[in-house]
A and B are shown apart, each in its own frame.
Chain A
Amino acid sequence: MIKIFGEKIKMITLFINKKKYPCTIIKSSPNKIIFIKKINKGNYKLLLGYKKIKKINKPLSGLFSKYKTDNYKKLIEINNLSNEDFKFLKNKKFIDLNYFNKIKFIDIVGNSIGKGFQGVVKRYNFSGVGGKTHGQHNRLRSPGSIGAGSSPSRVFKGLKMAGRMGNKRITIKKIKILDIDYKKNLLLIKGSIPGKKNNFLIIRKWK
C-alpha cells in the first residue's frame, strides 16, 4: 500500500452546496520516488522522500548520491507493494495527489500534541481523592491507593500513574475527502486530525 507525506495547515468551515462542513486543509507537494526494487516474486520495495533540504549527515548523503537525487528531510520505506501499485508507479519520478483521484475515504497518521508530564486526573480521568473537607488536605488530585499490602507485596505492572502525555503516533481511519486541488496540491478533508500546524502526516487509502 502506498503512503505519501503531507503537512497540516489549518482548520476552516467550508460551505459546499449550502451545507456546512468542518474542514482541515492539508498540503502535500509531490513526493519523490527515490527507488523501487524487486525483493522477490510479486513483492516490491519503495523509498519516498519529502521536502528538500540542504544540510544532511554523511550516511544519508551516501544514499542520495547513490541514486543521484536531491536531499530530502523525511523518508519512508514501504514494503509489500502490490502489482497494481507497481504498475501505477512505473516510469514515474513523483507521486502527487492524483493517486487519490476517485477515492472517497483515506486514513491519516500523525503525532498528537505533547502535553508534558501530567498527573493522573488529566491523563486517565481519575476523579481524585474525596473532597476538600472532613480532615483531608493536600491530596485532592492524587491517585489514592496503588494496591494491596503484604499479600502481593509489590505493585502490578501497567498500573495507571502520572507520566508523559501526548506526542504519540495516532491513526484516524475513514476520513472523508471533500475536495482536492491539483493545481496547488491541497487536500480538503472532513473533520479534525491530530497534531499542530505544519506537522508532518502520512496519508494512505482506506481499505
Chain B
Amino acid sequence: MNNNKLIKYLELKYINKTNINYKFNVGDNISVYYENIQKDNFKTKNKLLIFTGYVISKKGDNKFNKTFIIRKIINNIGVEIIFYLYSPYIKDIIINNKGKIRKSKLYYLRNSNKKIKNRDS
C-alpha cells in the first residue's frame, strides 16, 4: 500500500472531527481561541485565551504536521505564536479580515513597517 494512503488512514483514525473553520489563508486577520493549562504545585487551571493577528505562514504536508504562525504587535514589540492547526487545544478560529497579498510567506513583515491591505479595498 502507498505510504501517502497509510498516512491518510492514520489521519482519519487519530484526528478528531471538529466544527472549527480551518479555511483561512496567509494574510488574513484571525483570532484564535485556545486553551492554556497552567500547572502549579497543587492545582491545574484551564484558561481560554484569545490571540488576534495576521497569519504569516502555513506549513506542513499532512494533518499531523501542519502549523501556522500568527503575528501581532503589542507596545511596538512583535509577538508571534506557532500553532498546530489540528491541535486539540484550539477551540475556535474566527476570520476578521481577508488580506491582499503577493507572497505565501510574509516573513518580510518582521523587518519593515508595511501593512497588509484588505482584499475588498
Chain A interface (Cβ < 8 Å from any Cβ of B): 9-10, 12-15, 18, 20, 25, 27, 181, 184, 186, 197-198
Contacts and interface: CB of A to CB of B under 8 A. Distances in A.
Interface string B55-87: 000000010110000000000000000001001
A18 B6 contact: no
B64 A184 contact: no
Contact of A12 (B13, B64, B87): B64
Given A181-B10, A198-B3, 9 more contacts: A10-B3, A12-B7, A12-B62, A12-B64, A13-B84, A14-B14, A181-B13, A184-B1, A184-B9
A10 B14 contact: no
Contacts of B7: 9-10, 12, 25
Contacts of A12: 7, 10, 62, 64-65
Interface string B9-36: 1100110000000000000000000000
B89 A18 contact: yes
Given A9-B3, A10-B3, A184-B1, A15 B88 contact: yes
Contacts of B14: 14-15
Contact of B64 (A14, A27, A198): A14
19 contacts: A9-B3, A10-B7, A12-B10, A12-B62, A13-B64, A13-B84, A15-B14, A15-B87, A15-B88, A18-B88, A18-B89, A20-B84, A25-B7, A25-B10, A27-B3, A181-B10, A184-B1, A184-B6, A186-B6
A13 B87 CA distance: 10
A24 to B, nearest CB: 12
Nearest to B15: A15
Contacts of B65: 12-13
